[in-house]
Amino acid sequence: MGKSVILHLVFVVLAVFSVCLVNAEDPYLFFTWTVTYGTRSILGVPQQVILINDQFPGPGLDVVTNNNIILNLINKLDQPFLLTWNGVKQRKNSWQDGVLGTNCPIPPNSNYTYKFQAKDQIGSYNYFPSTLMHRAAGGFGALNIIHRSVIPIPYANPDGDFTLLVGDWFKTNHKIMQQSLDAGNPLPFPDGVLINGQTQSTFTGDQGKTYMFRISNVGLSTSLNFRIQGHKMKLVEVGGSHVIQNLYDYLDIHVGQSVTILVTLDQPPKDYYIVASTRFTETVLTATGVLHYSNSNALVSGPIPAAPVNQFDWSMEQARTYRWNLTSNAARHNPQGSFHYGQITPTKTFVLANSASSINGKLRYAVNGVSYINPDTPLNLADHFNIPGDFSTNSISAVPSGRAATVATSVMPTSLHDLIEVVFQNNENTIQAWHLDGYDFWVAGFGSGQWSPDSRKSYNLVDALTRHYSGLSKFLDRSFRLLGQPRYVECEVYIVGQAISRTTILPESLESSPQPC
Ligand SMILES: *[C@@H]1O[C@H](CO)[C@@H](O)[C@H](O)[C@H]1NC(C)=O
Ligand SMILES: *[C@@H]1O[C@H](CO)[C@@H](O)[C@H](O)[C@H]1NC(C)=O
């Protein structure tokens, strides 16, 4: 299995208690985004990148909780294109999720208008292209949901707000990279790490003041360690959950993940390194930026602060310190009417074991022995419009099957209001990052070895974070346990272009208006 697998759990849920998509009382924001190719010398050589309104990375989407977003996306590429709003819950509105299970890609020279509401959410998120290898060329950006003025947040308003998109970067053209993956090669090792699409960036603040840094890993395959020379980072929010506010010297940020930290400029007035370096890689790639005190009297100096030596265990221990602040506004009721997820008995358990094997001469990734293939019609639409033959709900088992991998459009059935326990069992020797598109889960537990019902004894059933992203299914024999209440889950294992495998948990009924392709 290649070094750079992204396991992508696309999870679209239509929550029960929320009102419909566009709420008339809340403000509307209108955007027109045009997607084109452009040429940028990012690592010293000109390369083709994907621009949105001539920007690389794409424009930041700064909205306020409950704002209605009407965004017309005009695709001027020579390939179909689709953006997904990573972490936006799309309640009753999975039609706007922007993944292949819910939307048709926008054909070249066409447009599609996304309509969604940032309902009840606060936090730092990001958006990215969800198909082909477009994410390797750009098209991603920040999506910041700022709290409404009447809603208290568990920290003082910062004196300033910086957004940092960090990620690995490749010089190879995205189409060539795709051809190579299609030919069975693993994703190459990245050529560099970028902060906001650059190798050099400076963030200026005043001594004594406190700044918010919203950091997202927008890369393709590599976890990053983030740190600021001489400064502590107070973690306040992870993936939309306000957390117990601990101080950290370093933070591991996995592909797709966003975190929000507060940093007080409490050091002597000079410049300090901001560092993002690759984790769990033999060769370490490092990007540095500068935290510049406005009254600085010295350039950055001294060694670049090092990442922690310890790798996976350290990272898992760090993730265990992220705990939900149950008295802050992060704790939202779930569709069962409670945020006490630990007191609800799960309706079903899915154990999803990923594997890599050769099927018909091609390297493909599978979940429970099924390597997912996209049907012609997005699953959600096929279900809604009763298009027969698109998928079958008995082509995948709820637990690992042990049989040789086959290809199918696999769908797992479940019902509205179910609380589902999902176990990701990673038997590969690579990191698997799962992204839950359109909804989130409580990450109840994770650890080494094979999961068994006994593992439930170690679950955090009190203050685990809800996350749309689970980055820690690390290395050999690690497993993950999540609890969530899906109506619609797709999980796709995609080594971006090389092979796709996906499991879909189908909704029982649908409540908003789909747009047929
Ligand atoms: C969007 O597409 C529609 C046709 O589906 C077309 O009528 C309209 O002019 C397009 N708008 C833009 C801004 O390209
Ligand atoms: C949790 O949130 C509450 C309410 O905003 C706040 O007063 C408290 O300090 C927070 N607790 C921690 C440990 O961060």
Query: Which pLDDT score is estimated for 446?
Result: 80
Q: In what order do the strands lie in the sheet with 83-86?
A: 61-64, 141-146, 123-129, 83-86
Query: Which pLDDT score is estimated for 25?
Result: 80
CB-ligand 1 contact for 111 (6 Å cutoff): yes
What's the CA-to-centroid distance between 112 and ligand 1, angstroms?
A: 8
* Cα–Cα distance measured from residue 285 to residue 195, given in angstroms and rounded to the nearest whole number: 12
Contact present, 390 and 409 (Cβ < 8 Å) = yes
Element (H, E) at 38: strand 28-41
Three-state SS annotation for 89-139: CCCCCHHHCCCCCCCCCECCCEEEEEEEECCCCCEEEEEEECCCCHHHCEC
Structure tokens at 206: 């005043």
From residue 336, how far is each of 30, 66, 344, 507 by CA, in Å? 34, 22, 8, 16
Query: Which pLDDT score is estimated for 93?
Result: 82
* Cα–Cα distance measured from residue 382 to residue 411, given in angstroms and rounded to the nearest whole number: 12
226-255 pLDDT tens trace: 999 999 999 999 988 899 999 999 999 988
CB-ligand 1 contact for 74 (6 Å cutoff): yes
The best mutation among 241, 324, 327 to test binding of ligand 2, ranked by most ligand atoms within 8 Å of the C-beta, falls on 327
Contacts of residue 282, Cβ cutoff 8 Å, sequence gap at least 6: none
Those residues of the chain that have pLDDT short of 70 are: 1-24, 329-339, 416, 430, 432-433, 435-440, 468-517
Structure tokens at 240: 């939309």
What's the CA-to-centroid distance between 325 and ligand 2, angstroms?
A: 6
Ligand 1 nearest atom to the CA of residue 113, by list position: 1
Query: Which pLDDT score is estimated for 119?
Result: 86
Query: Which pLDDT score is estimated for 15?
Result: 27
Query: Which pLDDT score is estimated for 263?
Result: 98
Q: Which ligand is nearest to the CA of 244?
A: 2
Element (H, E) at 471: strand 469-473
Q: Which residue type is seen at 161?
A: D
pTM of the shown model: 0.86
339-392 pLDDT tens trace: 677 888 888 888 888 887 777 777 777 888 888 888 888 887 887 888 888 787
Structure tokens at 103: 């939307």
324: Cα separation from own chain's centroid: 19
Which domains are assigned to the chain? 27-146 (2.60.40.420), 160-320 (2.60.40.420), 339-510 (2.60.40.420)
What pairing do the DSSP bridges indicate for beta strands 478-484 and 441-448? antiparallel
Contact present, 68 and 23 (Cβ < 8 Å) = yes
What pairing do the DSSP bridges indicate for beta strands 250-253 and 83-86? unpaired
Contact present, 228 and 274 (Cβ < 8 Å) = yes
77-92 pLDDT tens trace: 999 999 999 888 887 7
Query: Which pLDDT score is estimated for 401?
Result: 83
Ligand 2 nearest atom to the CA of residue 243, by list position: 14
